[in-house]
Structure 1
Amino acid sequence: MPELPEVETICQALKPLLEGQSFLKIQANRPDLRYPLPVNMETVLSHKLISLISRRAKYLLLDFSHGLTLIWHLGMSGRVIIENLNALSLNSGPHDHVVFITSNNYKITFRDPRRFGFLLLYPTNQLKSLHPFKTLGPEPLGDIPLGVSVLHAALKRRTISIKNALLDQRIIAGLGNIYASEALWQARLSPRRGANTLRLKETKILLIEIQNVLRRAISAGGSTLRDYAQPNGDTGYFQYSFNVYKREHLLCNHCHFTPITRIVQSGRATYYCDKCQQ
């Protein structure tokens, strides 16, 4: 599933392209994805000014000037493909479920082979009261990022493992499995540790490493493990910088002699060094 860096990469690609523009045509090639597509989406959104493109957690948000927001979630395998309509050849495939034609001559395609993604349409002024937005925690990056004291207080209330706590979107919005594992390795904290056992100093180090890992991943265009690609078709590159994720049995890059261990926590793979991470 695309995580925060992948969604942010797409957001940054769409923002200069769509803000101040509109959709001339919206072609839905099926009536539903995970949920039914918005009723009369083309009629409601065509020729309406797009005022803002933003991200909240793992959701893309397209705000329109007439007070509606298109909520876009990529699901497990979703991709956003941007192409100039003047290109010699245009990309198309059997899993291209929604196609947007823009007023500045671009084609934006939502391709989702597994159809776990979705598009929903709601009034912009109601978003904060909708599930899951009303329960999302602070963003780890951004204009008002998550603070150490807020994170430490949230962790102190949880008796689950620190790895599982980091995946709780009520604590940190947008952080996923890959980057939680990487940040814990950077902070030298065991994913098995109880969340409520971290000292304030350890929480501070962990938050710094979460932010560092996410910023580096965004700069690399995210991570491509299976389906994800950047809107221009390029793969992400951060997978080449993994220190623990998918590195089972390889030597730890901290101590250089302990093999990376893989365990399963709440159904998700966790990778760590049981020597360096305490």
Structure 2
Amino acid sequence: MPELPEVETVRRGLAELLPRRVVQHVSVFDSPKSFPNASVDVEQFLYGATILDVRRRAKVLIIDLDTDYSLVVHLKMTGQLVFRGDTKFGAGHPSDSLIGELPDRSTRVQIDFKDGSRLFFNDQRKFGWVKLLPTIEVVNLPFFQKVGPEPLDAGTTTKVFIHQARRRNGTMIKPAILDQTVIAGVGNIYADEALWAAKIHPEMRVRDVSDERLSTLFTEVVKVLALSIEKGGSTDKNYVDAEGRRGSYLEFANVFRREGQP
């Protein structure tokens, strides 16, 4: 499953391409669960809508429309978003769908824009989805109600991180920061790297980690996430862009897959 840096890479690419495009039509292939939306809502709030922005919350993408509705997209394990128009962009699970002719067997949703460009949601395993919701109601999705603060948001200060971590005082520190209700989007690779950089053993209990060391840990979490976004994500063989490029963060990782090594 993609982590925060991979999803942020998708968001940044789509945020440059989708705004101001007008939705003309939507086709759903083979999997109604991938697009569980009432036709009356699609016709009233999606057709003819202009895309305003592309946001991210944790590992979920939010495409805001000028109808006060939003498309909420969860890629899950094998999802892809592929844009075809005056330029090409795509990211997600590695398969020929990123660079081949579309739609194909993995295409679940196709969005046609008025200018002739198209956005494809591909998903081999059919776990992902695209939901159309009033923008004001997006925050009420059960997933968003539970997820913790964004580590890269300006409002997520060291004090906030320490407070969140202390809620799991009896837990080992690594599972605590992997807990999406504590902090959003920190995956296994990034937890290992941040803990190593902060010189904190992953099996230490949170209660045994001082506030000063938690502060250092938060600084390192932010650093590793920012570096991974800069390098296009970690990918680890299952996340590539439309040109077939994998993220390069793992080339800079210090401890991932080095168990037992000095």
Q: 1:153 aligns with which of 139, 150, 163?
A: 163
Determine the structure 2 residue equivalent to 1:270: none
8 Å CA contact 1:81–1:232 kept in 2: the answer is no
Tell which deviates more after alignment, 232-241 or 68-77. 232-241
Determine the structure 2 residue equivalent to 1:274: none
**Percentage of pairs with the same residue:** 32
The correspondence of residues 64-79 of structure 1 with structure 2, limited to 5 A, is 64-79=65-80
CA shift for structure 1 position 106: 2.6
CA distance, structure 1, for counterparts of residue 252 and residue 87 of structure 2 = 36
8 Å CA contact 1:28–1:99 kept in 2: the answer is yes
1:95-142, Cα deviation, whole Å (9 max, x unpaired) = 121122233443222221122211122211122222121222211113
The unaligned stretches of length 5 or more in structure 1 are 252-257, 259-278
CA shift for structure 1 position 91: 4.7
Q: Does 1:136 align with 2:135?
A: no
Determine the structure 1 residue equivalent to 2:36: 37
The correspondence of residues 145-184 of structure 1 with structure 2, limited to 5 A, is 145-158=155-168, 159-184=170-195
8 Å CA contact 1:71–1:121 kept in 2: the answer is yes
CA distance, structure 1, for counterparts of residue 244 and residue 115 of structure 2 = 20
> 1:39 is matched by which residue type in structure 2?
A
Determine the structure 1 residue equivalent to 2:19: 19
> 2:36 is matched by which residue type in structure 1?
L
CA distance, structure 1, for counterparts of residue 23 and residue 243 of structure 2 = 19
CA distance, structure 1, for counterparts of residue 140 and residue 36 of structure 2 = 21
8 Å CA contact 1:27–1:42 kept in 2: the answer is no
Determine the structure 2 residue equivalent to 1:264: none
8 Å CA contact 1:77–1:228 kept in 2: the answer is no
Change (3 A) 1:194 1:152: same
Q: Which TM-score applies when normalising by structure 1?
A: 0.81
1:45-67, Cα deviation, whole Å (9 max, x unpaired) = 12201122100111100111111
8 Å CA contact 1:183–1:210 kept in 2: the answer is yes
CA shift for structure 1 position 24: 2.1
The correspondence of residues 1-278 of structure 1 with structure 2, limited to 5 A, is 1-33=1-33, 37-40=36-39, 42-43=42-43, 44-84=45-85, 90-142=101-153, 144-158=154-168, 159-249=170-260, 251=261, 258=262
> 2:202 is matched by which residue type in structure 1?
P
CA shift for structure 1 position 231: 4.5
8 Å CA contact 2:35–2:109 kept in 1: the answer is no
CA shift for structure 1 position 3: 0.7
Determine the structure 1 residue equivalent to 2:95: none
Q: Which TM-score applies when normalising by structure 2?
A: 0.86
CA shift for structure 1 position 154: 2.1
CA distance, structure 2, for counterparts of residue 101 and residue 227 of structure 1 = 27
Change (3 A) 1:170 1:197: same
Secondary structure of the structure 1 residue equivalent to 2:83: strand
8 Å CA contact 1:79–1:231 kept in 2: the answer is no
Secondary structure of the structure 2 residue equivalent to 1:216: helix
CA distance, structure 2, for counterparts of residue 10 and residue 119 of structure 1 = 15
Higher relative contact order (CA 8 A, sep 6+): 2
Secondary structure of the structure 1 residue equivalent to 2:258: coil
Determine the structure 2 residue equivalent to 1:276: none
The unaligned stretches of length 5 or more in structure 2 are 89-99
8 Å CA contact 2:174–2:191 kept in 1: the answer is yes
Change (3 A) 1:178 1:129: same
